[in-house]
């Protein structure tokens, strides 16, 4: 542990965060831990990182029954296949990100990574569903939702895959939009050779 975080704001009276490096092992919300050097026992309530809690916060804000996640950017050789994130031809966990000082990636399987960081069940919309088109992606999201999955990692190996997802996600967002959100947030913009979903 390198730092104890205790915000002094309303709503965070009982929050205590520990920032530091995990020397080894795996832990998840609900696990019992011992804080060193004091030896005091504690229980992991959540793992606050750049992606897990943000996804669940977005889900709550949108009142969405399921949130699709796809960090792929094929133009820059970041692709997602069978839930694994690739950099070029290799797994992310075999790239220079493996030893990144702030966010080391030892596991390229994003379903497992997100599941360790989230309270909600995580599933996969594989490339077969994406390649089959927008309706197939929507059907797979509906199937996952019926199974209780709340977060779906979605494969993408090309810009066309992103376009397919964008169309499926735009419909999903429109169905669960909160009045406080602007409808223009959920649109697809296409610039030659690049697809952006914003």
Taking only the tens place, the pLDDT of each residue in 116-133 is 878 889 999 999 999 999
* Whole-number average pLDDT of the chain: 75
Q: What is the pLDDT of residue 186?
A: 36
CA dist list (Å): 100 to 13, 21, 139: 32, 12, 37
Same structural domain, 60 and 149: yes
Q: Read off the CATH number of the domain in which 102 is found.
A: 3.40.50.10840
**CA quadruple 160, 162, 165, 169: dihedral positive or negative?**
negative
1 and 90, same domain (yes or no) = no
Q: Are residues 38 and 57 in the same domain?
A: no
Residue 158 CA to residue 142 CA, distance in Å, equals 23
pLDDT band at 113 (very low <50, low <70, confident <90, very high): confident
pLDDT of residue 181: 37
Token match 């966010």: residue? 103
- Least confident among 12-26, 112-126, 129-143: 12-26
Do both 104 and 36 map to the same domain?
no
DSSP alpha helix (H) spans, the chain: 52-62, 110-117, 127-132, 134-146, 159-175
Q: What is the mean pLDDT of residues 158-162?
A: 94
22: nearest Cα among 54, 57, 59, 47: 47
Q: Both 20 and 57 in a single domain?
A: no
Contact present, 195 and 166 (Cβ < 8 Å): yes
Asked if residue 78 and residue 20 are part of one domain, the reply reads: no
The domain of 40 spans 1-45
Number of folded domains in the chain? 2
Contact 166, 72 (CB under 8 A): no
Residues 35 and 70 in one domain: no
3-state secondary structure of 159: helix
Same domain, 56 and 140: yes
Most confident region among 26-30, 102-106, 107-111 by mean pLDDT:
107-111
């Amino acid at each position: 542990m390198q730092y104890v975080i205790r915000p002094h704001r309303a709503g965070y009276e009982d929050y205590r965060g520990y920032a530091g490096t995990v020397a080894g092992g795996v832990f998840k919300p609900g696990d019992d831990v011992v804080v060193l050097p004091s030896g005091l026992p504690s229980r992991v309530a959540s793992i606050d990182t750049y992606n897990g809690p943000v996804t669940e916060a977005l889900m709550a804000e949108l009142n969405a029954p399921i949130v699709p996640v796809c960090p792929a950017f094929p133009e820059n050789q970041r692709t997602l296949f069978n839930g694994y994130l690739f950099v070029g031809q290799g797994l992310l966990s075999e790239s220079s990100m493996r030893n990144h000082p702030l966010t080391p990636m030892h596991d390229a399987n994003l379903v497992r990574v997100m599941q360790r960081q989230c309270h909600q069940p995580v599933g996969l919309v594989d490339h077969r569903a994406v390649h089959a088109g927008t309706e197939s992606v929507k059907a797979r999201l509906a199937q996952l939702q019926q199974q209780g999955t709340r977060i779906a990692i979605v494969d993408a190996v090309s810009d066309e895959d992103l376009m397919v997802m964008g169309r499926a996600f735009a419909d999903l967002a429109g169905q669960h939009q909160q009045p406080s959100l602007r409808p223009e947030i959920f649109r697809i913009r296409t610039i030659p050779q690049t697809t952006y979903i914003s």
